[in-house]
Amino acid sequence: MINKKMEQAINNQINAEFYSAYLYLAMAADFESINLKGFAQWMRTQAMEEMTHGKKFYDFLMNRGGKVVLADIKAPPKSWKTPLVAFQDAYKHEEKVTSLINELVDLSIEIKDYATNAFLQWFVNEQVEEESSLNDIIHSMQLLDKNTAGLYQFDKELGLRLFVPPLGVTI
């Protein structure tokens, strides 16, 4: 049976992961509204990934005999000043998620919950990848600056991103 403090923390993390999906869907809708369909596709894919993250925590908590309690998901912003600002916000958000994952790891160590600690290692690695891919996009966009032809090309490039569910996770 999972420790009550950890149960609550994982329930909070489920909410944070689904909020991430909400945030990226809001960004996708904003990109779509200005016809940046490739950026929108990238964000839609990101949102799908976030739902699998939430689902991974959901399944894990149930497998450990915990009770999943779903809370309200707060509304994300509706629009962003520029595509660059949106990706910068996404990066900041991922830094926040990384710190939440790190807090969960700290808690697992504090209460000697080795099973949760092992489970969390997947997320520790995933956060490195998420921050890195957003960082790469931000740098590319900064290089493009006001080059609209380049931005259009980059939009096409990001639009090639497809969702691949992580092993063993279904939505």
Three-class SS state of 167: coil
Structure tokens at 140: 């590319």
Cβ atoms of residues 140 and 90 within 8 Å: no
| Cβ distance to ligand FEO smaller for residue 49 or 151 | 49
Taken as a whole, the chain contains a residue count of 171
Closest distance between ligand FEO and the C-beta of residue 153, in Å?
A: 26
Residue 127 vs 151, nearer CB to ligand FEO: 127
Please identify, using beta-carbon distances, which residue of 80 and 91 lies nearer to ligand FEO: 91
For the record, the structure tokens of 9 come out as 């923390």
Of 153, 156, 161, nearest to 134 by C-alpha is 161
Contact positions toward ligand FEO, by CB under 6 A?
A: 17, 20, 50, 53, 94, 97, 130
Which of 94, 113 has the CB closer to ligand FEO? 94
Q: How far is the CB of 159 from ligand FEO (least distance, A)?
A: 20
Sequence-distant (6+) residues with CB within 8 A of 83 are 31, 36, 39, 141, 151
Q: How far is the CB of 94 from ligand FEO (least distance, A)?
A: 5
Q: Which residue has the closest beta carbon to ligand FEO?
A: 53
- Nearer to ligand FEO (CB atom), residue 44 or residue 53: 53
Shortest spacing between CB 17 and ligand FEO, in angstroms: 5
Please name the residues in contact with 15: beta carbons below 8 A apart, sequence gap of 6 or more: 70, 71, 73
Q: Please report how close the Cβ of residue 54 comes to ligand FEO at its closest, in angstroms.
A: 8
